[in-house]
Structures are given as C-alpha cells and as structure tokens.
C-alpha cells in the first residue's frame, strides 16, 4: 500500500463507540490501514491498535455544535463536516466517517478522491463520507473558508456537508475526482433495510422484488436500491438513517443479513 493511503482519519464525539463504529475501525485495520481516531475526552470500546488523537489539535472543543432544528436535529454531523475540512486542510490524506465499512484497501493513486451517492434523476453527486484531499490546497481552503463563515445556529442538515462539497466540486472543476457511487456507497440511503434484513432464498417475494429492480431505473430511478459491485471499496451504512428510524446499532439482526456478516468478518476472532 502506498504510504499516502495508509492512514485513515475519523472523528468520534461521545463517551463510547457502538458496534457500528467498532466495525468501521476494525474493517480498516484488518485491511492494512492505520486508523487515527480524533476524540474529545475518553472514549470506551475503541478497538485495539487504533491511534487516538486529540480533537483539540484540529478544532477547540468549544466549537462543537449540533443541529438545532429540522431533519437531523441533535446530530453532530455539521460539526463533523467542519472538522473534516480543517483536518484535511492541515494534514491532507483520507477522511472516513465512522459508519463506513472497508471492504478492500483504499490504495488509490489519485491525489484526490471524492465519494458520491446515487440520487436517481439528480445523478450521483459528491458527498462527504469518504474524502482524500491534499493539505493546504485550493480545494481544502475553499471548504474551510466557506464553512467557517457560517453560523452554526442557522445551518440546516447538509448545508456545509454535501451541498458545500458539491459547490466546491463544480466551481473548482473537480468533477474528475468524484468516483462512481458504488465505490463507497453501493447501497443507497433509501435502502438501509437491505443491510439489516437478509436476502431470502428464491420465493415469490424475491421474484417480485427482482422484477422491480429491473424496471426501477426506467420508471422510478430515484428508488434504485443499489448493490455491492467489484468496484466497491467500502459500504456506507448511513448512520443518520439508523438514528432517524430508531435502529439499534448494537442490536443483533438475522445472521444472514449484510450487517451481521460484516460483523462476523471483522469483529469475530478466527477461533469464534
């Protein structure tokens, strides 16, 4: 693995990691990456060999905020967006959200890699869950300067996240660095149920669902659910959708579902 790709950087705010965050970190460690987790204070359940970093090195703790109203109220996602821009501007390299599961090493040769999400008739716009950027670049400076001008009390979900990133991509002509959605977000946020519910064996229900999958791209492209492909380097689990739907990240689901199979792959010892 190229040295510029070895380190993965992420952030956690809170007292302990759920199984989802543990799964994310372990997946990168087991694929040969070094994982730097930025935190504010002590955090429980951090996987062994994770390198803990003080978040105050990037942004002081008194800048932490949550969304005050609307969809995502109470979420730290806006601060996480601000944090990642400052981090990547200072250090460069990879940023990955703690709900992203590594499927194979991120050994990309490009200096810039930007994730995207399938949004049907709106295309596959850039999103912030996985980013590889160069430090102190025109691109990272744009993100930092623009997000720093916003009032945390006034922003809505996504304002300084994907929406700002998409503006930066368009204005700075970075479209070439936006990879196809199946690289990091092969299953769309609309289809989280595919991650926690098992694929049933051949049945009338599955036959009907398969038929729907064939016609969706034509009749209702925005409802396409997606699937893992040969290009898939990671699987974004869409934590906020879990939060909005009261899905328990520590729960045990049907052992046949994708979430449980990933837990078995990365969280269980070879002897278990």
Confidence class for position 246, pLDDT limits 50, 70, 90: confident
206 is in which domain, residue-wise?
Answer: 189-266
Q: Write the pLDDT tens digit of every residue in 134-178.
A: 999 999 999 999 999 999 988 888 899 999 999 999 999 999 999
271 inside domain: no
Q: Are residues 176 and 197 in the same domain?
A: no
Helix (H, G, I), strand (E, B) or coil at 98: coil
Within a domain: residue 137?
A: yes
Give residue-wise pLDDT tens across range 169-216: 999 999 999 999 999 999 988 888 888 887 644 344 555 555 555 555
Residue 167 lies in a domain: yes
- Cβ contacts of residue 227 below 8 Å, gap of 6+? 186, 187
First-to-final CA distance of the chain: 29
Q: How far apart are CA 113 and CA 132, in angstroms?
A: 5
Count of structural domains within the chain: 2
CA distance 247 to 46: 21
Helix (H, G, I), strand (E, B) or coil at 91: helix
Q: Are residues 258 and 174 in the same domain?
A: no
Residues 36 and 126 in one domain: yes
Among 158, 183, 208, residue at a domain's last position: 183
Pair 176, 219 in one domain = no
Same domain, 145 and 195: no
Say if residues 37 and 8 touch (Cβ distance below 8 Å).
Answer: no
- How far is Cα 61 from Cα 153, in angstroms, rounded to an integer? 16
> Sign of the C-alpha dihedral, residues 191, 196, 199, 200?
negative
Q: Report the pLDDT value the prediction gives residue 210, as an integer from 0 to 100.
A: 52
Co-location of 97 and 30 in the same domain: yes
Letter string b/e over residues 249-258, b meaning 16 or more CB atoms within 10 A of that residue's CB: beeebeeebb
């Amino acid at each position: 693995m190229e040295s510029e790709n070895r380190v993965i950087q992420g952030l956690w705010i809170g007292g302990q990691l759920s199984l989802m965050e543990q799964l994310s970190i372990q997946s990168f460690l087991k694929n040969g990456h070094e994982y730097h987790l930025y935190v504010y204070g002590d955090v429980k359940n951090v996987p062994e060999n994770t390198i803990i970093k003080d978040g105050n090195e990037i942004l002081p703790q008194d800048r932490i905020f949550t969304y005050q109203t609307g969809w995502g109220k109470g979420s730290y996602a806006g601060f996480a967006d601000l944090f990642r821009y400052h981090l990547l501007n200072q250090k460069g390299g990879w940023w990955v959200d703690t709900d992203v599961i590594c499927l194979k090493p991120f050994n990309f040769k490009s200096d810039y890699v930007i994730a995207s999400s399938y949004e049907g008739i709106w295309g596959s716009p850039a999103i912030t869950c996985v980013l590889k950027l160069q430090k102190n670049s025109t691109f990272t400076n744009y993100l930092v300067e623009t997000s720093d001008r916003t009032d945390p009390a006034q922003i809505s979900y996504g304002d300084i996240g994907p929406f700002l990133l998409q503006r930066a991509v368009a204005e700075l002509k970075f479209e070439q660095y936006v990879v196809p959605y199946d690289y990091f977000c092969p299953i769309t946020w609309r289809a989280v149920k595919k991650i926690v519910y098992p694929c049933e064996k051949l049945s009338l229900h599955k036959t009907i669902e398969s038929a729907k999958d064939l016609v969706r791209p034509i009749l209702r492209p925005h409802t396409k659910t997606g699937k893992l492909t040969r290009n898939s380097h990671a699987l974004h689990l869409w934590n906020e959708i879990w939060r909005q739907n009261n899905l328990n990240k520590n729960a045990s689901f049907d052992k046949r579902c994708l979430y449980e199979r990933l837990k078995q792959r990365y969280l269980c010892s070879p002897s278990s």
